[in-house]
Amino acid sequence: MGLFQFAKDVGKKLGIDLNAHQQHPPAQQAQAKPAAAPAAAAQTSHDDQDRQKAAAIYQIIQQMGFKGDDLGVRVDGDKVTLTGKVQTQEEREKIVLLAGNNHGVGSVDDQLQVAKQEPAGTFYDVKSGDSLSKIAKQFYGDASKYQQIFEANRPMLKDPDEIYPGQKLRIPALPK
């Protein structure tokens, strides 16, 4: 599908301690390291953080019940790359949203393959004052169709009233 932008400073916190690995070594060990070690340690630190973020996002995807063939999650700074194969377009879009609607994620590079080709949904960035019924009115011309948007974003959404500005939602096409 491509590269999707997300609001980096909103969303669910991943719940990992990114500072735990930054403990300082004992003084005698620090003196024995060559001058290039701090730069190498900083790179290793960033790589460790990226691996922790990728593992946390992968775990969220699994906890929500999504499976895929060779599903891969790679993080490079604030960019998440998804690879593998899923069964449906809906599943693909939900996995992209699960990865992107996390604090610290600025973009998702969707390289997922889909077994069954279907029309893609639309992604919508929630604005202040939005509700699912207001969004349904905008996209479908009928506020009472908010339940379809809610269902299209389950299990990420647990309650139709719990959306927040900056969150990205999936808006499915209405059945013909």
> What is the per-residue pLDDT across 96-130, written as a single tens digit (0 to 9) for each?
999 999 999 999 999 999 998 888 889 999 999 99
Please tell me the distance from the alpha carbon of residue 104 to that of residue 6, in angstroms, as a whole number. 9
104 in Cβ contact with 138 (< 8 Å) = no
> What is the per-residue pLDDT across 43-86, written as a single tens digit (0 to 9) for each?
678 899 999 999 999 999 999 999 889 999 999 999 999 999 99
108 in Cβ contact with 99 (< 8 Å) = yes
Please tell me the distance from the alpha carbon of residue 145 to that of residue 1, in angstroms, as a whole number. 26
This prediction has a pTM of: 0.78
> Which has more pLDDT, 24 or 124?
124
Least Cα distance to 50 among 72, 81, 74 occurs for 74
pLDDT the model gives residue 11 = 79
The answer to whether residue 176 scores a pLDDT higher than 70 is no
In the chain, CATH 3.30.1340.30 covers 1-20+27-117
Which tokens go with 92? 């693909």
The answer to whether residue 27 scores a pLDDT higher than 60 is no
Least Cα distance to 170 among 124, 107, 130, 110 occurs for 124
Q: How far is CA 60 from each of CA 23, 64, 135, 175, rounded to the nearest angstrom?
A: 27, 6, 26, 29
The conformation of residue 12, written as its DSSP 8-state character, comes to B
Long-range contacts, stretch 36-45, CB < 8 angstroms, 24+ apart: 45/21
Please tell me the distance from the alpha carbon of residue 12 to that of residue 80, in angstroms, as a whole number. 15
In sequence order, which residues have a C-beta less than 8 Å from that of residue 24 and are 6 or more positions away?
Answer: 30
Residue 21's pLDDT band (boundaries 50, 70, 90)?
very low
- For the chain, the average pLDDT equals 85
The answer to whether residue 158 scores a pLDDT higher than 60 is yes
Peptide bond into 160 cis (omega under 30): no
pLDDT the model gives residue 23 = 38
pLDDT the model gives residue 120 = 87
Fold held by 1-20+27-117: Histidine-containing Protein; Chain: A; (3.30.1340)
> Which has more pLDDT, 35 or 7?
7
Residue 30's pLDDT band (boundaries 50, 70, 90)?
very low
pLDDT the model gives residue 116 = 85
In the chain, CATH 3.10.350.10 covers 121-176
Q: Does domain 121-176 have CATH number 3.10.350.10?
A: yes
